Amino acid sequence: MDNFNYHIPTDICFGKGQISQLGKRMSPLAKKVLLVYGGGSIKKIGLYDQIMQQLQQAGITVFELAGIEPNPRIQTVKKGIAICKKEGIDAVLAAGGGSTIDCAKVVSAGACYDGDAWDLVLDRNKIKKAIPIAAILTLAATGSEMDGFAVISDMDKHEKWGTGNDLTKPVFSIMDPQYTFSVSKYQTAAGSSDIMSHTLENYFNNTKGAFLQARLAEGILKTVIKYAPVAVEHPDDYEARANLMWASSLAINGLIRYGESTAWTVHPMEHELSAFYDITHGAGLALLTPYWMEYVLSEKTAGKFAEYGVNVWGIDSSKEPMAIAKEAIAKTREFFLSIGMPSHLKDLGIDETHFDVMSKKAANGGLRFGFVPLKKEDVKKIYTMAL
């Protein structure tokens, strides 16, 4: 097990009706709040009115930044920053999924930064200060409600990068699984795939002796495997929505990563897909993950895949590791297909046109430190397998 520093300060208010805590939790932080949200689904489900009532009762003035995109744009971030600076905003409240929360995080940092906000996306160390961030989650997926990360895109440049640090961790997050009842089947499946991917990318690592972390990760994987199909079929199943929502936070808040050397591998490959084609992040992850698994499977890695197969998928441990590994990968693919995720790039209208530049950019990240280190040629091969 590696050394680590555990630091998860975000206060979570989880469960039915927790919106009632909004006013009293926001009061000590702010007099003027920027409410950040997406396409208006929070109005449809009545959340917008609940927020306004809570904040107004607490004597807080609300400004708005609406229309956050599924892959949030730097241009939108900049609009939010301008409002913060002009109006002297004290805190940013995101109401939505990961995109909205990510946008709010960089707005909060940009509000305290004099240069171009894109600098903060390219270099997280430039974030030296941020106004407080709070979140109300409406989609179980990115875990942004309980970590400091944010992914922002500049679609004009086909750029999509992760940023954030301890300063951009939400002070509190309200997580009421009922707000996810209206999430579509496709987005439910994509969000669940994102949770699976976060967990798998931490699980497949080379650190010796991080046994406990691996068992916790398996617990999260089993939870998603059990409940994603339930939520897709029965959108208002509270138990399924609650388990998925809490799994989304624990998959990426550090709990299963502390003590391990991990590096994002499938995520950077997917970021290129959504930067070039604006596809749903989770769908891209569900698509790429089994191909990545097949590509990195070898005599050397079969043992870890077999551990995954036995402990997560319940495959008979008396079989040969390589056989278990292959069965585990097949089950992973079947799972993503079963919840309606795509399995070929062509189905998303993606061909080889940009493979060279996408592979090069993807390989610029942490891929060389991954479970199996990958170069741009490897990434291109994985994209090609996925066609």
Residues that bind a second copy (CB under 8 A): 1-18, 208-209, 211-212, 215-216, 218-220, 222-223, 226-227, 238-239, 242-243, 246-247, 250, 255, 258-259
Q: Which is nearer to a second copy, 136 or 297 (CB)?
A: 136
Residue 113: count other Cβ atoms within 10 Å of its Cβ.
Answer: 18
128-139 burial code (b ≥16 CB/10 A, e <16): eebbbbbbbbbb
- Residue among 198, 160, 362, 379 at smallest CA distance from 274: 160
Q: Which is nearer to a second copy, 258 or 371 (CB)?
A: 258
Q: Which is nearer to a second copy, 230 or 385 (CB)?
A: 230
Task: Provide the minimum distance between the beta carbon of 19 and a second copy in the complex, in angstroms, as a whole number.
Answer: 12
Q: Which is nearer to a second copy, 37 or 258 (CB)?
A: 258
Contact 122, 77 (CB under 8 A): no
Task: Provide the minimum distance between the beta carbon of 5 and a second copy in the complex, in angstroms, as a whole number.
Answer: 6
Task: Provide the minimum distance between the beta carbon of 15 and a second copy in the complex, in angstroms, as a whole number.
Answer: 3
Q: How far is CA 272 from CA 97, 144, 148, 252, 276, in A?
A: 20, 20, 22, 21, 6
- Residue among 194, 86, 88 at smallest CA distance from 139: 194
Q: CA 53, 143, 379, 1: dihedral to nearest 10 degrees?
A: 160
DSSP conformation letters of 221-241: HHHHHHHHHHHHH-TT-HHHH
Task: Provide the minimum distance between the beta carbon of 171 and a second copy in the complex, in angstroms, as a whole number.
Answer: 11
- Strand 159-163 and strand 172-175: pairing? unpaired
Residues facing 94 on adjacent strands = 36, 135
Task: Provide the minimum distance between the beta carbon of 322 and a second copy in the complex, in angstroms, as a whole number.
Answer: 22
Q: Which is nearer to a second copy, 3 or 125 (CB)?
A: 3
Q: CA 5, 148, 204, 377: dihedral to nearest 10 degrees?
A: -130
Q: Which is nearer to a second copy, 2 or 294 (CB)?
A: 2
Q: Which is nearer to a second copy, 89 or 140 (CB)?
A: 140
Task: Provide the minimum distance between the beta carbon of 91 and a second copy in the complex, in angstroms, as a whole number.
Answer: 19
Task: Provide the minimum distance between the beta carbon of 82 and a second copy in the complex, in angstroms, as a whole number.
Answer: 34
Q: Which is nearer to a second copy, 62 or 255 (CB)?
A: 255
**What CA–CA distance (Å, rounded) separates 46 from 23?**
17
Q: Which is nearer to a second copy, 51 or 244 (CB)?
A: 244
Task: Provide the minimum distance between the beta carbon of 53 and a second copy in the complex, in angstroms, as a whole number.
Answer: 20
Task: Provide the minimum distance between the beta carbon of 216 and a second copy in the complex, in angstroms, as a whole number.
Answer: 5
Sorted by sequence, the CB contacts under 8 Å of residue 36 that are 6+ apart come out as 64, 65, 66, 68, 80, 92, 93, 94, 95, 96, 100, 103, 104, 107
Residue 23: count other Cβ atoms within 10 Å of its Cβ.
Answer: 17
- Strand 32-37 and strand 91-96: pairing? parallel
